[in-house]
Amino acid sequence: MFDKKAHASLKGKKLHPESLMMSYGYRPDWSEGAIKCPIFQTSTFVFKSAEEGKAFFELAYGLREKEPREEMGLIYSRLNNPDLEILEDRLTLWDEAEAAAVFESGMAAISTVLLHFLNPGDVVLHSEPLYGGSEYFITKVLPKFGIHPVGFVAGSGRKEIQRIIDQREAGKNLKVIFIETPANPTNALVDMRMCREFADRHSTAERRVLVAVDNTFLGPVWQHPLKHGADLVLYSATKYIGGHSDLIAGVCLGSEELINPVKAFRTFLGNMAGPWTGWLMMRSLETLKLRMTCQMKNARYVADFLSDHPKVERIYYLGHLREGDPQYEIYRRQCVSPGAMITFDIVGGEEQAFRFLNSLKLIKLAVSLGSTESLAEHPATMTHSDIPAEEQAKMGISEKMVRLSIGVENPEDLVLDIGQALDAV
Ligand SMILES: *Cc1c(COP(=O)(O)O)cnc(C)c1O
């Protein structure tokens, strides 16, 4: 048994997550002294005795409560695997969550959580725009199960959201509030505290309304939704957590009470991450803070350059929010830093945006984000192209918009590339 609590502090002081990412949850004597957790590329695990096998299954199927100090043993890699368990323990540290569940993709995490917590007749209130996959799942797939989606535009105030809830008579059956903040690609913020208030207002003794936050854009380093009233935090770990554009994975975090049943449901959907993905993510977590700090600094440098440029009409960057703007108040309350996602409107339209994108040399033209390399894309015709133009306009997406995900390159080289591509327009 491994005493995680003791491992996470020194002389009574709690250690920071970045100090623990190399060792937390793993003991070298489990693996011939190997300093790194090996890849446990195995489908099944040998029981020491039939009695042990029986005990593990009793716990796995919830047939009885755990004895004091009893731990769930390893059974089969769809239920548990050391690479996943150690990774999940490490992931809880950034968000200060009780429990984590890792999935084979961000969409697997999101769809599993929504399917688990929503029942026919329930309402899911969600911000807009959402990541395309989440938008499709919520507005096209969930209705097949009798679940009703109700959307509001990110950045809307309390009154407007309450008006939508009332108009759609959504309050009584509200079960989950699902938000993405900052929104993609506009960086509009949704006030998590306000969402908690809506959730509490519509909760009853038997029916607690849950707030779920897709924290892919700023987390897990720059935003901690559980501290602002969220019940569940979701990630596409494909982005900053993986961070090298070489894996697809997802995470859900929250209390043990909420996450344990999600993990049980995951066992039946069979969409947990495999040991290799788990191992790669542990490798990635060691440099997470380092990467995100570098990316955040680079992004500020790039955003400052863009804000003075004559070919840039408008910039959507959290670091440029000004006092007096209601979005600034939300930013101050719930974000730790502006992160590394920058969107801007180029002077002109699609033609100018495409000329810019086609002229980039160092920055790659690709969707996805959060990786070590900088990426650029055109939301209106790429990531958000399935949203009708009229809806795009309501969400603040236009054809002159370009989205940048800033990486760890030298910031002067990034500005050199962006500058020459703007000159080519
Ligand atoms: C990429 C992304 C997803 C989906 O994650 P996958 O790992 O691609 O399944 C969900 N939400 C946001 C905000 C994303 O950027």
13: Cα separation from own chain's centroid: 29
Distance of alpha carbon 284 from the chain centroid = 15
Burial class (CB in 10 A: 0-12, 13-18, 19+), 251: buried
Residue 297 makes CB contacts below 8 A (sequence gap 6+) with 411
Which residue, 92, 86, 94, is CA-closest to 24? 86
CA–centroid distance, 397 to ligand 1, in Å, is: 19
Pocket of ligand 1 contains residue 215 by CB under 6 Å: no
Strand 148-153 versus strand 123-128 pairing type: parallel
Q: Is 31 helix (H, G, I), strand (E, B) or coil?
A: coil
For residue 121, count other CB atoms closer than 10 A to its CB.
12
Q: Is 248 in the pocket of ligand 1 (CB under 6 A)?
A: yes
Using CA positions, which residue lies closest to atom 6 of ligand 1?
106
Q: How confident is the model at residue 410 (pLDDT cuts 50, 70, 90)?
A: very high
Cα→Cα distances 272→35, 86, 242, Å: 25, 14, 16
**268 membership: H or E segment, kind and range:** helix 256-269
Q: How many CB atoms lie within 10 A of CB 301?
A: 15
Average the pLDDT over 19-26 and give the result: 95
Residue 82 — pLDDT band, cuts 50, 70, 90?
very high
Q: 334 CB under 6 A from ligand 1?
A: no
> Does residue 180 line the site of ligand 1, with CB under 6 A?
yes
10 Å Cβ neighbour count for 257?
A: 10
Nearest atom, ligand 1, residue 130 CA: 13
d(CA 239, CA 368): 7
Centroid of chain to Cα 1? 31
How many CB atoms are closer than 10 A to CB 240? 27
- The string of pLDDT tens digits covering residues 356-402 is 999 999 999 999 999 999 999 999 999 999 888 998 998 889 999 99
Closest residue CA from atom 12 of ligand 1: 131
Distance 307 CA to ligand 1 centre (A): 28
Best of 103, 105, 233, 238 for a ligand 1 pocket test (most atoms within 8 Å of beta carbon): 238
C-beta of 374 in contact with ligand 1 (< 6 A): no
Of 340, 347, 327, whose CA–CA distance to 402 is shortest?
A: 347
Q: Is the pLDDT of residue 6 over 80?
A: no
**Residue 71's pLDDT is what?**
82
What are the distances in angstroms from CA 324 to CA 327, 330, 332? Answer: 8, 11, 12
Ligand 1 atom 1: the closest Cα is on which residue? 236
User: What pLDDT band is residue 70 in, cutting at 50, 70 and 90?
Assistant: confident
Per-residue pLDDT, averaged over 260-286, amounts to: 96
Give the model's pLDDT for residue 2.
60
Q: Which domains does the chain have, with CATH numbers?
A: 82-285 (3.40.640.10), 288-423 (3.90.1150.10)
Instruction: Report the C-alpha gap between 67 and 64 in whole angstroms.
Output: 9
| Residues linked to residue 233 through DSSP beta bridges, in sequence order | 213, 253
What's the one-letter identity of residue 130? Answer: L
- Tell me whether strands 148-153 and 341-346 are parallel, antiparallel or unpaired: unpaired
Confidence of residue 408 (pLDDT cuts 50, 70, 90): very high
Is the CB of 371 inside a 6 Å radius of any atom of ligand 1?
no
Nearest ligand 1 atom to alpha carbon 107: 9
Residue 5 pLDDT level (bands cut at 50, 70, 90)? low
- In angstroms, the first-to-last Cα distance of the chain is 62
CB of 236 within 6 A of ligand 1: the answer is yes
Q: Regarding beta strands 341-346 and 312-316, do their DSSP bridges make them parallel or antiparallel, or are they unpaired? A: antiparallel
Which of 104, 112, 131 most suits a substitution to test ligand 1, by most atoms within 8 Å of the C-beta? 131
CA 318 to chain centroid: 17
CA 320 to chain centre: 23
Instruction: Give the residue, by CA position, lying nearest to ligand 1 atom 4.
Output: 106
Q: Please check whether residue 93 is in contact with residue 17, taking contact to mean a CB–CB distance below 8 angstroms.
A: yes
**What is the strand order of the sheet 401-405 is part of?**
312-316, 341-346, 401-405, 375-377, 364-365
Task: Give, for ligand 1, the residue of 239, 251, 367 to mutate: max count of ligand atoms closer than 8 Å to Cβ.
Answer: 239
Q: How far apart are the CA of 338 and the centre of ligand 1, in A?
A: 19
Residue of 231 and 59 predicted with greater confidence: 231
Q: Quick check: CB of 133 below 6 Å from ligand 1?
A: yes
Asked if 126 contacts 179 with a C-beta cutoff of 8 angstroms, the reply is yes
**Would you say residue 1 has pLDDT above 60?**
no
The finding on whether 383 has its CB within 6 A of some atom of ligand 1 is no
Rounded mean pLDDT of 246-256? 98
Q: Are 222 and 300 in contact (CB under 8 A)?
A: no
Alpha carbon distances (Å) from 38 to 17, 85, 90, 278, 362: 21, 13, 15, 10, 35
Q: In terms of Cα–Cα distance, which of 39, 38, 72 is closest to 55?
A: 72
Q: Which atom of ligand 1 is nearest to the CA of 108?
A: 9
Annotate 259-297 with b (16+ C-beta within 10 A) or e (fewer).
Answer: beebbebbeeeebbbbbebbbbbbbbbebbbebbbbbbe
